[in-house]
Amino acid sequence: MTEEIKNQKECDTENISIEESFKMLDTIVAQLEDRDISLEASFQAYEKGMKILKDCNQKIDTVEKKMMQINENGELSEF
């Protein structure tokens, strides 16, 4: 299990899809729910999960900004 966390820690989450990020988060949650996880490994998993969440938020913000259009009056409106 610790090896899984190490592999996830080395993974670059900025270049993966939101769907893949959610799958990684599901894996991390399952690891954190396991009573056999060490304290150190749980902190690493938590840290990785927070990074993934931050990256997901940035991706969602980017998509939301792309969904805005400038109307004929030069004002932003939702797409």
pLDDT in tens, 10-42: 556 778 899 999 999 999 999 999 989 999 999
Domain that holds residue 39: 2-78
Determine what percent of the chain is predicted with pLDDT higher than 90: 53
| Residues in Cβ contact with 52 at an 8 Å cutoff, skipping those fewer than 6 apart | 13, 21, 24, 25, 28
In this prediction, residue 9 carries a pLDDT of: 46
CA distance 11 to 3: 13
User: What predicted TM-score, i.e. pTM, was given to this entire model?
Assistant: 0.67
